[in-house]
Amino acid sequence: MNLADLNTVALAMVTPGKGILAADESSGTIKKRFDAIKVESTEETRRDYREMLFRSQEAMSRYISGVILYDETIWQNARDGTPLIKLIEQAGAIPGIKVDEGTQPLPNCPGELVTAGLDKLAERLKKYYERGARFAKWRAVIDIGKTIPTMTAISVNAHALARYAALCQAAQIVPIVEPEVLMDGDHDIDRCYEVTERVLNKTFQEMRVQRVALEGMILKPNMAISGKKSSTQASVEEVAQKTIRLLKACVPAAVPGIAFLSGGQSDQEATAHLDAMNRIGGLPWRLTFSYGRALQAAPQQAWAGKAANVAAGQQAFVHRARMNALASKGEWKP
Ligand code: 13P
C-alpha cells in the first residue's frame, strides 16, 4: 500500500467546494427511481440517464470531485462508444465503484441485515483498479426499532466494513466506509445520536484492529437526525450541532474527510444541514456531500426519460450540485 497516494486521492475527494455524486444505484434501486418517473429500466435507459449526468460539464468539472458507479456502469459505453468512466475522467472527476453486494438477513437477529460481498473482493478490486476506479464504497445498514439494533448486527457489520476497507487499501483503492443508520423510523434525534455513536465507535474499533490506515479512507455517515415518522422534527441548527458533536466524539482527526449520505432527506434539507455544519467551522476533517437522492431527484424529474429533456435534466443537476458545493464551504443561501 502507498499511503501517501491514498491520502492524496482521499483529500481530492473532499476538495472544498466539491463533493461526490453517488450514482451507484443497484439495478433494483434504479428501477424504483425510474418507476417514480414512469421510465422503463433497461440497460439502455440506465446508460442514457447516467450519460446525461456525466456529460453535465459544468457540474462535473466544477462541483463534483468523484462519482460512485455501479458495476454495470463502469463497463458501459456512452452512445458514441466512449466508455462512461472516460467521461468522468475527462471532466476531471475521480471514478469510484460500489463493491458491496447488497444486504442479506442476519441469522439469529430478526429484522436485521448484514452486507455481503467480501468473497473474491480482492480479485474484483484489482479489475476495477485496472478499469480506472480509485475509490470504492461499501454500505452497511443499521435500522432503529424498539429492540434493534442489536450489538450483534453492529458488530458483524463493522467487522465487514473494516475487512472491506483493508482489502481496498491493499489494492490501492480509497475505501468509503458507509455505516448508515436509517432515518426511516419514528425515533427522535437523540435515539439516532445514541445508535450512531455506538455504530461509529465499533466501526473505528474494528478498523484499528484490522490496521486500516485512517489517512487513506473517507467516512460516509448519516447525520444525527429525527426519524422520518417522528412527531418531533429537530431543526436545521439542532441537526448541525448534534452531528458535529457526535462526529467529534467518534471520528479520529486522522480521517481526511467526511462525505454525508442524504438518506431520504429532501434536497433542501440535505443542503441546509451540510451548510449549517460547515458554518460551525474549526473541524479537523473536511465535510462534504456524497448524495444520491438529494442530487438526482430533481434531474430525474426534469429528464423523465425523454431525449428532448436532457438539457433540462442537466440544468437541474448543475443546480443541486452547485447548491451542495456552496454548502460544503458554508456559503449556501436559502
Ligand atoms: P442517498 O444520498 O440517496 O442516501 O445515497 C447515498 C448512497 O450512496 C447510499 O449508499
Provide the pLDDT for residue 334. 87
Of all atoms in ligand 1, which is nearest to the CA of residue 291?
2
CA 205 to chain CA mean position, Å? 21
> What are the angstrom distances between the C-alpha of 26 and each of 35, 149, 157, 228, 262?
14, 25, 20, 24, 17
For residue 180, report the distance from its CA to the centre of ligand 1, in Å: 9
For residue 178, give the nearest of 96, 86, 279, 240 by alpha carbon.
96
Q: Which residue CA neighbors atom 9 of ligand 1 most closely?
A: 261
Look at residue 129 and tell me whether its pLDDT is greater than 90.
yes
Indicate if ipTM > 0.90.
no
Residue whose C-alpha cell is 466512449: 82
Q: What is the mean pLDDT of the chain?
A: 98
> What are the angstrom distances between the C-alpha of 256 and each of 8, 46, 147, 219?
10, 33, 34, 9
Amino acid sitting at position 200: L
- Going by DSSP bridges, is the β-strand pair 94-98/64-69 parallel, antiparallel, or unpaired? parallel
Determine if the pTM surpasses 0.95.
yes
Which of 228, 290, 296 maximizes ligand 1 atoms within 8 Å of its Cβ, making it the mutation to test the pocket? 290
Q: Which helix (H) or strand (E) holds 331?
A: none
Assess whether the C-beta atom of 294 lies below 6 angstroms from ligand 1: yes
> What are the angstrom distances between the C-alpha of 224 and each of 135, 249, 282?
26, 13, 19
Look at residue 69 and tell me whether its pLDDT is greater than 90.
yes
DSSP tag of 77: B
The mean pLDDT of 217-233, rounded to a whole number, is: 98
Provide the pLDDT for residue 118. 98
- Reduced to 3 states (helix: H, G, I; strand: E, B; else coil), residue 287 is strand
